[in-house]
Structures are given as C-alpha cells and as structure tokens.
Structure 1
C-alpha cells in the first residue's frame, strides 16, 4: 500500500502530458514514418493503427476509402474526472459510452501502461485488453477493462438519477482504485460530455484488415480518426504496410496536441455526476 492507504500500482504510469504534441493540427511533413515498435509488442493483445485528420480532410479520405458517413451509427461518449482533471494527470481514463440502440459500455483505462507489470489475474478476465496504439507521434501502450451495459442503465446514470459507480463492475472499481489519486472515488467525480461520435466500420482497397472511421464532433474542431485494430501476432506486417495504404488514399495524418479523451475533457463543462 502507498501513502494514506493508497494501493501501489503495478503499472508504470507517466503523465499523459509527455505525449502531448507541440501544435494542434500540424500536418506531418513528408511521408508517414513508421515509429519504432516497442520491444514489449509480444506482451500486448492488440495493436491499433491510427491516423487523425481534420473534418474536411477526413471527409475527403472517407470518400476515397469508399465510406459514406451518411450511413454512420451514432455514439455519445462521456468521461468522468475531477474538475481539475486529476485522473488525466494520473493516467486514468474513465469512459461511459452509449451506442445508439446497440446498448452501452463503460471502460476504465490506464494509459500509458507497462504490460509486464499488470496483475495476472486481471489479464485473464474477459474484457481486459492490453493495446498498443500507433499514432503519428509514436506508440503508446494502454490497459483497459470494459463491460457492456443496457442503455437504460447508462441513461439513468448520465442524467444524474443514479450514482455512476454503479455502472462499473467490482473488477473495474478495483482497477480504478489501484491507480486513481488517493481520496478520489467514482461517485464523487464530475461528468464531462457527451461528445457525439459518428462511426463506420468496413474494409477498403489496399487493406486486408477491418477499418473504422470515427468523426468526433468537438464544438470548435471536429476530427476524424481512421483506425485499424489487429492482433499483436499480425502487427509487424500491418505496421509496415500502413504508410503505403495511407499514401494510396492520399491520407496525410496530422499531429494534435491532445488525444480524443483529453480534448473531450477540455471542451466540456464539468457537472456533478450525481447529487
């Protein structure tokens, strides 16, 4: 146990601000360069390749890829944090997501994470995933535990009628308590959002793996993320081919100052999640 009864974490957590890029929306110069793959790739479950674009660029890319955003499904994404963003500073992300008529889910994520230091018992649990994200600025590893819920259950929580802690399983609460700052509890957090997200999934010319397009409708600067999630065993081949696939469709990723979760926390006014 750490100070004041706080649990000592098994995941090495660095400040997310170490991954902040210098300019919002700065286009990459030249061809997309593949960053060095971390040595612990074999300890991950999945790898997600990502390219983030402005809305206008994203819509052009979607047409080239053969995707019609008019067919997208709608999600509403919320985050929980303190008004001062203490969870973000500790590398803890707590997300609530409503998936239209398809239900809802909650996720507790540690980002960045050291896969070698994870609790073995948690790693065996359904819904627990260790993922390596490849974006324009490099790789970041995360560990997350997700659970699916009924949409009505989530609706009651995000409207403030029920405490948000009830949306999370005992194992999710255990993961949260292990890495959250001392004295921070789920039911005392503020709710940020929702952010409306338009999502499409499918395939495209020049890429054998499934693709997803997500248009995050942030108020001032919507962004579109193109991504492909692959098994770690297929990652080496996919990572090597990703730049050529982007070139084929003239997709030029941009550097953004904040991740999607960080942006959502900054563009939303916090409100008490309960009470």
Structure 2
C-alpha cells in the first residue's frame, strides 16, 4: 500500500479541536508528515546533526488477514542496532474512561493522544525493553515471538485481541528500516524527533514532538507557527505507519 501523501488544501497545518478527555491522557504527540524530498532540508533547518542518525528495524505481528488491525490492536517490535530493542502492545483507538485503574498504574503503560492534521486519536500502550539479540532470534524463526513480551503485555493482548488468538500464532511483517534523529530546535521547548520510514512504495518523513498532557494545550496552539518558522510543509497521510507497514511486506510465520 502506498502511503498516499497529499498536501493539505490550505498549505498549512490545521489545528484540530482538542478532545475533552485530554486530562485523562498522560502524553500528547504532535505529528507532521513530510514528503521524502523535504526531510533533509527540514532536519537542517531544525539544526539536527545528520551524522547522529540512528537506524531502527521495525516489525509488526498480525494474522495474514490483518485481524488484529481490524480489532484495533497493534503489536510492534523494534530493534535499534546494538543499542537494544523494545516491544509494544497498543490499543488504538482507546477510551481512557474504559481502562482499568490498575492497568494505568503499571510501569511502561501510557495513554496518549496522537495529533495529526485530521484530528486526534487516543491510544493506550504497554512497552517494555529487551535485548536486541532476542529480537534477532524471533525474526529468524529461532525463538517464539511470544517470548518477546512480558506477562502483563500478554494479558493486555488477550483482553483486546479476537477470541482464541495467541501471540505465538501470529505472522511477522517487516522489517521496515527507519532512520531517526532526535534533538531540540529554535522556537520549540519540547524534544523533537525526525524519522524516515523507508516504505518500498513511498518513504515517509515524520516530525513529531511528545509533550506532557499538562503542556499540551499550549503546545498544540504553537505547533503551526513552529512549523511555519522552519518552513515545514505538512502533508496529509491517509494511513498510519502501522497500516502501511503491514501492507508493505508479505506475512511470514514468525515461529516453527
């Protein structure tokens, strides 16, 4: 699937209305998608050191028919060279009011609003770090993918996945190569990240900034002016990165 990038009709980032449940979230991630040709220029304008790029490999787990995606469950595995890896089970969209209070208190659990030009989407995720060698073993079929996830992540998966589905029975999609830069920039007081997702049909560059919910209202209001300051031209991205990644490669059995 091609990402289907198009320029916003106004040529400027349109700020969507902030949902009333903002206070129930932990963080807000502001995002702007750029055409590949604009990525290097934007990174230079932001003052990022291109020599400091990190390369990640990103995998997703799902059924051949993408039943997890249809159920709003995203299972992701990332490996960053020798620097380690992490796994995430994400529910998207999520209703903050429906989440169990005990789950909200778990280390690594986060409720986040993703802001794009077409609106906000709330997600709930549980992430854990692990050794990169463990990911290599699972990616090459020498270990069960279920071994990458903690018991708490497994319970979250079972609570939202279709009945009878197990992590070890899923297929592996990817990897997608992602180049990542992180830093700060003039006119913005929060951390910034630039990522290029090397999808086969059309690479995508994403500029993002994660802020605490308490700072979100002010950050959301300033975001368009910040993009204008650095001549960042946001595009409409009609599919999420996970949706595109799941369609960019053929599924293969993850184990056995």
TM-score, normalized by the shorter chain, greater than 0.5:
yes
CA drift of 1:63 comes to 1.7
Gaps (5+ residues) in structure 1? 1-22
> 1-side partners of 2:91 and 2:76: how far apart?
11
Write the mapping of 1:99-248 to structure 2, written as runs, cut at 5 A.
99-248=80-229
> 1-side partners of 2:184 and 2:63: how far apart?
39
SS at match of 2:82: helix
Gaps (5+ residues) in structure 2? none
CA drift of 1:257 comes to 2.0
Could you list the structure 1 runs, at least 4 aligned residues long, displaced by more than 6 angstroms after superposition. none
> 2-side partners of 1:62 and 1:208: how far apart?
16
Q: Any idea what the Cα deviations from partners look like across 1:81-104, whole Å, max 9, x if unmatched?
A: 000000000000000110112101
Q: Any idea what the Cα deviations from partners look like across 1:54-95, whole Å, max 9, x if unmatched?
A: 110222211211224342011100000000000000000000
Q: Which residue of 2 aligns with 1:251?
A: 232
> 2-side partners of 1:262 and 1:70: how far apart?
30
Q: Normalising by the residue count of structure 1, what TM-score does the alignment of the two structures yield?
A: 0.90
Q: Normalising by the residue count of structure 2, what TM-score does the alignment of the two structures yield?
A: 0.97
Aligned residues: 253
RMSD (Å) for aligned C-alpha atoms? 1.0
2:4 equivalent to 1:24: yes
SS at match of 2:201: coil
> 1-side partners of 2:82 and 2:218: how far apart?
36
Q: Which residue of 2 aligns with 1:18?
A: none
SS at match of 1:101: coil
Moved more, 253-262 or 56-65: 56-65
